Structure 1
């Protein structure tokens, strides 16, 4: 999700509504799908994995959120709101807690802030729609390639040898982004390594040929702010 520090200045007013802070421990849930949604969060440190968990236990990761990201907006202005997704802590950190009713009141009283907030939410929906498009249209291989492109845009660090993904991810976590199994991801990553498209060193992925990944999924060259995992 887009960092709150990258939003229009007006939306920085959301920071004024932080009620208290909460520590989040790696491996625990900050919130879970189906539970009452009375709080929203601004991440101050750490990484939160926001996912949809389906009845058979499989997990589809929709985004990885880090410092500055705002979580929980989908519950606003809903009667008896419940979280529609789950937030699992991938890296220990801290969040600022915003009470839902306080933010709703602030948005109701400030038209300019409400308009900016709606524009921002619209962009988040575009990101989600683009991810689902890739999952549906391009199959398992396309889903992985698309995920690598998005992670590249969110966490890539350019080097002389390629772009290093500065985000520790297991193959299972990559599989969760793609809605597939770890075994499938293992096989596809192995094929990419053999072709020299990527390399992996101690779990860290370096992308050497981003153009190949884009060509394989017939990339529509969406704006970078849409083609991201955060």
Structure 2
């Protein structure tokens, strides 16, 4: 898939599950007023997608390749066959579904309970856990998300994100260098987001 390609749209028939072999996929929801909210990202090694049932035969989200991707797909009928014929597969599948639900609950908690600053702080921590590495006294994060993409993740405008990032810079919490961000005080971000110390496997983009 090329960057910007649509893998499926809201309302498309839901009869496959997808696997990211390489690249990054954005899963988003569009409100009635046209505002978009990024629900999550599927990274290399992740499954994503929705399966039809009697109440919802179509996709509720949109999936878009935000960089060149290689995507695998498996039909729902084949998933069902594997689920009933392979107990180990069924167990791992249930674990994955529980992981997705837990991750989504945490994102909604950050957004609804702790305001825009809390949601941004939580998103920066997720970026650290996904792309960060220690660089002297700071944690360096390769910036794979634009300010507009950060805004879509927390339900804010790009201007609001710019103001909040500028405030964090003034406070000495972060510093931006070209395509990277340096985090000097992750504990401040944890306090802002009321961090519960979830494992990095859950607290990630």
- Deviation (angstroms), 1:167: 4.0
**d(CA) in 1 for partners of 2:187, 2:163:** 21
* SS of residue paired to 1:92: coil
Structure 2 matches for 1:100-179, cutoff 5 A? 100-179=76-155
- Coordinate RMSD, CA, aligned: 1.6
Counterpart position of 2:22:
45
Quick one: distance in 2 between partners of 1:223 and 1:106?
A: 29
| Partner SS for 1:91 | coil
**4+ residue runs of structure 1 moved beyond 4 angstroms?**
none
The 3-state SS of whatever aligns with 1:147 is helix
Match of 1:55 among 14, 32, 37: 32
Residues 9-48 of structure 1 aligned to structure 2 (within 5 Å): 24-48=1-25
Matched, 1:192 2:163: no
Q: Give 1:67's match in structure 2, choosing from 25, 44, 47.
A: 44
Alignment: residue pair count:
204
Q: Which of the residues 64, 68, 74 maps onto 1:92?
A: 68
* Structure 1: 5+ residue stretches without partners: 1-23
Cα distance between partner residues in 1 of 2:88 and 2:145: 39
- Distance in 2, Cα, partners of 1:86 & 1:139: 25
* Alignment match, 2:157: 181
TM-score, normalised via structure 2 length: 0.93
1:66 CA displacement: 2.1
Q: 1:167 to 1:99 in 2, by over 3 A?
A: farther
What is the TM-score normalised by the length of structure 1? 0.83
